[in-house]
Amino acid sequence: MRTPATKLLPAFIAVIALVNQSCKGPAQKKDSKDTAAIEAAIPDSANFNSTVDGKKTHLYLLTNKNGVKAAITNYGGRVVSLLVPDKSGAFKDVVLGYDNVKSYQKKKEPFFGALIGRYGNRIGKGKFTLNGKQYQLDVNDSLNTLHGGFKGFNAQVWDAKQSDNHTLQLSYTSKDGEGGYPGNLNVKVTYTLQDDNSLKIDYSATADQPTVVNLTNHSYFNLNGAGNKTILDDSLKIDADKFTPVDNTLIPTGELKDVKGTPFDFTKFKTIGQDIDKQDEQLKNGKGYDHNFVLNKHTLSTSIATVKSPSTGIVLDVYTEEPGIQFYSGNFLTGKDTDGKGGVAYGHRSALCLETQHFPDSPNKPSFPSTTLNPGQTYHTTTIYKFSVSK
């Protein structure tokens, strides 16, 4: 039912007040009378006020001058909602997630919006050797280790500090032996919602023993709005002439293969669905796209991947200092769960991930860029997800 325009004035005033108020603590509980479209997709922060492993969880709200909003919980450092304008000026929530912290704790939760570590992506057979010593990690993905193990950074409560409306600083100490990884690792991640409608993620870490580190964010994007049934009609471009083929357990073979002449050629825009169901061994292994692309030479000022929605006109550009990006086409989403935000089901290939990273299984592939972090060194990398509207 439409609300008469005269009745929207109080809600509009409430939104302006919310944007202008100090946001140095957890996001305030949303006024149930607020019917403005820009607020519709932000979950009730009260549903994120909980205690996990003896630590408090909250939902934090970032805003910029354009009305873009990012809701982030310190449980797993997860991007819960990200509201950006479409071509008509209406706001769309473009990331998948849940309305409460409890849903993020369920078994086989697909890492919605999470910070991933200590090692993003897979390590073959859950083993690697560093300085002559072999380490056995949690094996949580068939024969392999995925995204840090049984309880990676996605399932930890991070210490949070919100310094202003735009910035959320998260920190976590991963203890020696956690998940099987060596060394105490001190991690800091800063989310900044910038006025150019970009979400900047700065990662840093130090260790007291030699270890391996590969941090990323696992947001699932749908530029048509979270809950839309498909991303296959969206167009994608990736600035990568090569990718890393995988075996049937999704571990890289060690080869760098040319994308030219394969379904993995995204050097020019094409729809995600154009080649996804072709008869191809690599597509069969990944049940679609679930592969690391070897990025061409770039800097943080150069977009290395772009997604465009023909429906909403929303454009996502990805900037990173990392050498690779994992393009995942949501092949393992089933639509069986109906507890997505607003009670929706997230169906097969209803979202995509663009995870900036070093390569999967690098600790076991000497030819890949190194992921070793030694004492006295500082791991630092930045990734930016920037949103605009096609003209």
Task: Say whether 355 is catalytic.
Answer: yes
Task: Say whether 298 is catalytic.
Answer: no
Give me the catalytic one of 58, 147, 166, 218: 218
**Residue 270: which H helix or E strand, with range?**
strand 270-271
Asked if the structure places residue 349 within a domain, the reply is: yes
Q: Cα separations (Å) of 262 from 83, 203, 291, 389?
A: 35, 33, 13, 30
Q: What is the pLDDT of residues 255-300, one digit of tens each?
A: 999 999 999 999 999 999 999 999 999 999 999 999 999 999 999 9
Domain with 218, as residue range(s), is 114-389
- For position 310, which CATH number holds? 2.70.98.10
For residue 332, pLDDT over 60 is answered with yes
Give me the catalytic one of 58, 322, 355, 358: 355
CA 191: distance to chain centroid?
Answer: 12
For the chain, the domain total comes to: 1
- Can you tell me the distance from the alpha carbon of 9 to that of 13, in angstroms, rounded to the nearest whole number? 6
pTM: 0.90
Asked if the structure places residue 1 within a domain, the reply is: no
Q: What is the pLDDT of residues 311-323, one digit of tens each?
A: 999 999 999 999 9
Q: What is the pLDDT of residues 58-95, one digit of tens each?
A: 999 999 999 999 999 999 999 999 999 999 999 999 99
Across 211-225, average pLDDT:
97
Calculate Rg over the CA atoms of the chain. 20
Asked if the structure places residue 88 within a domain, the reply is: no
Output the pLDDT for position 331.
96
